[in-house]
Amino acid sequence: MTSTTTAMETLVIKTENKFRTLITKQTYKKGEVICPMPSENIMDKPNRYTVQIGRTRHTHVGKLAALNHSCDPNVFLDTEHMLMVAARDIEKGEELFFFYPSTEWEMDAPFICLCGSANCINVVAGARFLPLSTLERHYLNPHIREEMIKLLNNTKQHLKKLK
């Protein structure tokens, strides 16, 4: 048995009224690697089941597709090293969540968030629709940083033209 298999076996998908959740059977310390991110097939366009891993790369992530969004997440996806990491200490039996705009620039299927966190962004549509002050509070992958910088530079150029 490989360690990858062991890591994945501690994650359980629960389905209730077609709504899927990903639960851990194990505790984790903040910063601990939970498992590698599976990458099944890479596409150039997002859909509601994909995770963005590069500027024009989107992938299916196997079991991790059951991860729901939270504005106060307990895991993050490191798309550079293809790992799922604990964002804080996690108890056995907790549902795992990540902050979708930390990987998604512009989502195919935006939705309204009802996570109830004090920092809830309400509309989850991708990083491009969020202010920097919100994004700064979260783990951001390199492709999201690159897009942010590009957007800021474009804005600067527009402002110059107005002068």
Name the minimum Å distance from CB 120 to Zn ion: 3
| Residue numbers at the binding site for Zn ion (CB under 5 A) | 71, 113, 115, 120
Q: Is 42 left (phi over 0), alpha (psi -120 to 50) or beta?
A: beta
Q: Using the minimum distance from each CB to Zn ion, give the nearer residue, 121 or 144.
A: 121
Q: Using the minimum distance from each CB to Zn ion, give the nearer residue, 46 or 101.
A: 101
Name the minimum Å distance from CB 126 to Zn ion: 14
Q: Which residues contact 37 (CB under 8 A, 6 or more apart)?
A: 51, 53, 61, 64, 77, 78, 79, 82, 83, 84
State the alpha helices, DSSP H only, in the chain: 3-9, 132-135, 142-162
Name the minimum Å distance from CB 87 to Zn ion: 15
Q: Using the minimum distance from each CB to Zn ion, give the nearer residue, 83 or 120.
A: 120
